[in-house]
Every structure is written in C-alpha cells, then in structure tokens.
Amino acid sequence: MNDPVIVEDIRPLIALLAPWAGMIGIIWAGEKRANLREMFTFIAASVQAAVVLSLVPIILSGAVVEFHIWQIFSHVPMLLRVDGPGLLFACVASVLWIATTLYAVGYMRGLHEHAQTRFYSFFALSLSATMGVAFSANLLTIYFFYEMLSVSTFPLVTHMQDKQARTGGRTYLGYLLFTSLCLLLPALSWCYVWLDGGNMTMDFMADVGKVGHFGETTQIVLLFLFTFGFAKAGLMPAHSWLPGAMVAPTPVSALLHAVAVVKVGVFCVYRVYADVFGPEVLAKMGGEEWAMVIASATIIISSLIALSQDNLKRRLAFSTIGQLGYIVLGAAIATDRGQGGAVLHIAMHACGKITLFFCAGAIFVASGKKYVSELRGIGRKMPLTMGAFMIGSLSVIGLPPLGGFISKWYLALGALDRDAMWVVVVLLISSLLNVFYLLPVAVTAFFRTPETEKDSSLKEAPWPCVVPLLLTAFGCFLLFFWSDTLLQMVGLQP
C-alpha cells in the first residue's frame, strides 16, 4: 500500500460499538423476555454487518478509512484503520455472526441451556473485540483488542460451569494470557522504544520494515516473540488450548474457534509479517524459513492427529489447527500472492469450517451423538445436514468449485514465486490428509448402514439450526464465484 487516500470516517467505531449497544439491550431484556433479547442480538449483528459491508466500496476504490479514538501514549494513538485484509476479515466475522446467532437460538433453546443472557452478551463483546482487531492500525491497538477477546471469551468457554469447563478454561486462559503477557508485551515495548528510534508510533503503514534496522538476532527474536505471542494462531506447540476450549457450546466453538478467536490470532500474525516486518525484510532476514517450517510441521502433525480423533468436534479442532498453519505459512512466504492467499484462506476456511461445526452441533442437538463412529447411516435421517457437511469438507479440502480451492491455489502460487517447491508438496500432502480425515465422516454417515434401527425417531435438527448451515454451505460456492471481489480487496487484482 503506497500512500493511499485516507478517509476520516466514524463507521469503524460504529461497527465496534454496535455489539456493546446490543449487549446493553440483551442484559436489559434478560432471561424473562428471551425473544426480545435475541432480537437485540440480531439487531446488533445486522447493524454491524451492514456497516462493515457499507465500507467495501470505499476500500475497493483504493482508499483507506481511519478513525482516531484517543491517544494511548504521547506517540501511539488508539487508531482504527480499515484496509483490504482487515475489511475482508471483518466482513467474514460480522456476516457469519448473523448466521451463528440464528444457529445459537436454535441450539441453546434446543438444549435448554442456562444463563443464555450471559452467553449472548459476552458473545457480542467478543465480536466487538474481533472488529477491533480487524480494524486496528498499530500494534498497541491490536494488542488491546486481542486481550479483550481473550478475557471476554472466558465466560463462553466455561459456560457449562463444571469440572471440564474449569479444565478447558484453565488451558485456554493459561496459554493465551501467558503468551500475550510474557512474550508479546516485551516485544511490544521493544518496538515502542526502539522501532524507528524515538517516534514511537508502532503504526502498520508508517513503520513497515523498520524492524530491518535491528540486528539479525534481534529480528529473529522479535519474530519468534510475535509468532508465538499471538498464541491464538494455534501454531504448534502453543496449540493445545484449542481442543481444550471445545468444551464450550457448539455455537461458541463454531464462531470463536473457527472464525473469531483463531482467525484473530492468524490475522495478528499476518499483520506482523506483512505490516511490521514487511515482505522484503522478512525475505532478507532469513528468519521466515523456520516460521515456514514450523507452520508446515503444524499442518502435517495436526492433520495426523486429526486422523486419530473419534470425537467429531476434536477432529474439527485439529483440522482447524492445520488450516491455521496454512495461513501462517502463507504469511511467512513473504510474497504478495502468498500473503494474499493467506488472507483469502481466512475467509474461505472460515466459511467451510463453520459449516462443519454447525453440522456437528446440529447432529448433537438432534441425536446427542458426539463421535464419528456413532454416525453410521445418520445421513439418511438428516440428509440436509450431512449434505452441508459434505460441501464444507470439500471446501476445506480445497476442491473447485468451492472457496477453499482459490486460497490454496494462491498459496501454492506464492510458494512458487519464491520457488519453495517443498511448500507446495506440503500443501498437497496436507490436502490428501484432509481428505482422509474429513471425507470418512460424510461417507460413514451416508453409505454405512446403522448397526441398529432403534433410533428411528431421529430427524433433522430444528430449523434455526439447519438454515444457517445450509446458508454457509451455499456461501462456500458463492466465495468461489465472487472471488474477484475478494482478490481485489487483498490487492491481488487491480
């Protein structure tokens, strides 16, 4: 981005505050007036999505939207800036929030969950934090919203309030807060003092590549601190919070652990690689090799683990870890097409994976089944759900005409740009592994005969559960056909 037009606009802030307003409404409505409460959630989600989408044309016209909230330090403002990747991420998150809300209504009511007010309000909070991350313009701002997300999702993860919830919550917070407070904070204050010595704006646009002034080791150390500091990216070995956090209700797993939280992590990593280090510094510092290696290792290992998981949600979780590996890999490739592919993959994978999670949840609501081995023949009872599952898994595997194909394609191209053949090989192998651990689910569901016919009462989940997953499955196709717009956003097409 060489000095684009900057537009002062309050819309980013509105997108940020809409969930807060929604939360106030939600709490005011309370458990007594459930419908009113969920209506507030819908309103907040739609307002947010509308505002975010209304920003698209501005960005496509090559401008950048900024909003200055307040001055954190004498040099570092709390600055919101909307650029292509950020907006893409924001669009995905806010649009999928609507779907998730609809789904959550079905799910929570279907299971008669408790404390739904708390659930919806913290859900809104975490979405606000996600918007903040997507729109932040410097390291400190992004850090603020990153921490806000960690804390505001804790009540969602520990929603069940029992022993498992405690274990899951502990792993979750333990990993996230430890990394962010002990690895990220030093890196940040290092940048604060020494990045661009003196004028301490840790700005993404102004300070790209200023890290280049540091010594070799310093750069490596900073890269390390940032990469693992944003542990939400789920790079191995800092990944185990993600399966742990699967104790949460499925809507939470779906949105937060397929879309918001993990994608925030990889988005932060992308920001660091693309806008703090910058492709050329990254390319010449030689530190990105091992970043790529770690990412590839994460991809392969997590796929292998996923093969061995029988619990459907855990399998999906490990598949998520692998897919995040793609994005980090793309960001680390440090070529335009590679990093563009990474951002694209945020969207594509989000759409595919949320479909899968929705399906898992729908199956659980309808039949109470959690394990892949229990799903024999369930496809005949719930054809819509399992059909959507099929589509989702194909998209994640990356077959045309589904969204997943595009991003993987650009990742491969990016890898070829810097003729790193082995990366392409890794991509191929992992796609193969995806096939192995995702397709069997659908296959079992459709073609294996159930061992007993006793659960003949089994039928589709209630419609609020089914509609969203059909929508998102359909979205996978749309993303493939509308990919030009996305490519424009990430600057891969004029």
Partner 1 sequence: MSDSIVWIVLFPLFGAVACALGGAMSKKICYPVSVLSMLATVWVSVDTLFQAIESPVHEVSYILGGWSLDLFPRGVGIEFRADLLGALIALVVTGVGLIVALYSKVPVQRETPGKEPMYYGLFLLQISGLAGIALTGDAFNLYVLIEVAALTGYGLIALGTNRAAAATFNYIILGTIGASFYLLGVGYLYLKTGTLNMVGIREVIEAHGLFDSPAMQVAFVLVLLGILIKMAFFPFHAWLPNAYCHAPTTTSCLLAPLVTKVMIYVMIRMVLTVFGVEFSFESTWWTEFLPWLVVVAIVCAAVMALAQREIKRMLAYLIVAEVGYMVGGVWIYNYYGLIGSVFHIISDACMTLCLFLGAGIILEKCKTTHFNGLRGLFAKMPLTMIGFFIGGFSIIGLPPTCGFFSKWYLITGGMVSERWEYMITLMFSTMVMVVLFFRLIERIHLAVDESGNNLGKGHGDLGLTKQQTRFDEAPLSMLIPLLLAASVVLLVGVYNQEVVNQIEVFLQPFNLPTGVKYE
Q: Does the protein bind partner 1 through residue 68 (CB under 8 A)?
A: no
Query: Between 84 and 155, whose beta carbon lies closer to partner 1?
Result: 155
Q: Does 114 bind partner 1 (CB under 8 A)?
A: yes
Strand ordering across the sheet containing 77-82: 6-8, 64-71, 77-82
Q: How far apart are CA 427 and CA 410, in angstroms?
A: 11
The one segment of 171-179, 315-323, 432-440, 444-452 that binds partner 1 by CB under 8 A: 171-179
Listed ranges 37-45, 163-171, 270-278, 315-323: which one lies at the site for partner 1 (CB under 8 A): 163-171
Decide: is 186 part of the binding site for partner 1 (CB under 8 A): yes
Residue 74 touches partner 1, criterion: CB under 8 A: yes
Q: What is the rounded CA–CA span in Å between residue 266 and residue 320?
A: 12
177 touching partner 1, by CB under 8 A: yes
Single out the residue of 203, 179, 352, 367 nearest to residue 278, CA to CA: 203
Residue 349 CA: distances (Å) to CA of 47, 103, 341, 472: 24, 19, 11, 11
**Beta pairing partners, 203:** 138
User: Which of these, 191, 185, 226, lies nearest to 206 by C-alpha position?
Assistant: 191
Binding residue for partner 1 (CB under 8 A) from 21, 34, 63, 115?
A: 115
Closest CB 141 distance from partner 1, rounded Å: 10
Nearer to partner 1, 154 or 267 (CB): 154
**Minimum CB–partner distance for residue 397 and partner 1 (Å):** 37
Q: Are 348 and 263 in contact (CB under 8 A)?
A: no
Single out the segment in contact with partner 1 by CB under 8 A; choices: 190-198, 328-336, 348-356, 483-491.
190-198
Q: How many residues bind partner 1 (CB under 8 A)?
A: 42
CA distance 170 to 152: 14
Minimum CB separation from partner 1 for residue 72, in Å? 7
Measured torsion, CA atoms of residues 303, 399, 429, 407, in degrees rounded to the nearest 10? -80
Give yes or no for residue 196 binding partner 1 (CB under 8 A): yes
Asked if residue 28 binds partner 1 (CB under 8 A), the reply is no
Stretch that binds partner 1, among 46-54, 66-74, 127-135, 400-408 (CB under 8 A): 66-74
Nearer to partner 1, 187 or 413 (CB): 187
Q: Does 290 bind partner 1 (CB under 8 A)?
A: no
The secondary structure of residue 203, as a DSSP letter, is B
Q: Choose, by CB under 8 A, the member of 30, 54, 68, 73 that binds partner 1.
A: 73
Secondary structure of residue 80 in the 3-state scheme:
strand
The contact pattern for partner 1, residues 212-241, with x = CB under 8 A and - = no contact, is -x----------------------------
Assess 154 for contact with partner 1 (CB under 8 A): yes
Positive/negative CA dihedral, 170, 174, 180, 182: positive
Q: How far is the CB of 116 from partner 1 (least distance, A)?
A: 10
Determine the Cα–Cα distance for residues 101 and 494; give it in Å rounded to an integer: 35
Q: Which one of 10, 31, 61, 161 is in contact with partner 1 (CB under 8 A)? A: 161
Q: How far is the CB of 213 from partner 1 (least distance, A)?
A: 7
CA-CA distance, 1 to 3, in Å (whole number)?
6
DSSP 211-238: GGGS-HHHHHHHHHHHHHHSGGG--TTT
Question: Is 163 among the residues that bind partner 1 (CB under 8 A)?
Answer: yes
Point out which residues pair with 64 in neighbouring strands. Answer: 6
Joined together, the tokens standing for residue 31 give: 């458990």
39, 42, 113, 336: residue in contact with partner 1 (rule CB under 8 A): 113
Cβ-contact 131, 16 below 8 angstroms: yes
Q: 303: closest CA among 436, 403, 405?
A: 436
Class of residue 374 by CB neighbours under 10 A (exposed 0-12, middle 13-18, buried 19+) = middle
**At 234, which amino acid appears?**
G
Q: Which DSSP helix (H) or strand (E) runs through 6?
A: strand 6-8
Q: Which of 254, 488, 260 is nearest to 352 (CA)?
A: 254
CB of 160 or CB of 416, closer to partner 1: 160
Of 61, 71, 485, 493, the one binding partner 1 (CB under 8 A) is 71
Structure tokens, 248: 């949460």
> Least Å distance between CB 230 and partner 1?
16
Burial of residue 3 (CB within 10 Å: 0-12, 13-18, 19+) is exposed
The correct pick among 13, 24, 58, 72 for binding partner 1 (CB under 8 A) is 72
Cβ-based nearer residue to partner 1, 4 or 209: 209
Which one, 61 or 189, has the nearer CB to partner 1?
Answer: 189
**Contacting residue, 49, 173, 225, 489, with partner 1 by CB under 8 A:** 173
Contacts of residue 280, defined as CB under 8 A and 6 or more positions apart, other chains included, come to 209, 334
Q: Which backbone phi and psi does 492 adopt, to 5 degrees?
A: -95, -15
Interface segment toward partner 1; rule CB under 8 A; list 12-20, 72-80, 452-460, 480-488: 72-80
* Site residues (CB under 8 A) for partner 1, limited to 123-152: 143-144, 147-148, 151
- Shortest gap between Cβ of 172 and partner 1 (angstroms)? 10
Least distance in angstroms from the C-beta of 27 to partner 1: 10
Sites of contact with partner 1 (CB under 8 A): 70-74, 112-115, 143-144, 147-148, 151, 154-155, 158-163, 165-166, 169-170, 173, 177-178, 181-182, 185-186, 189-190, 192-194, 196-198, 213
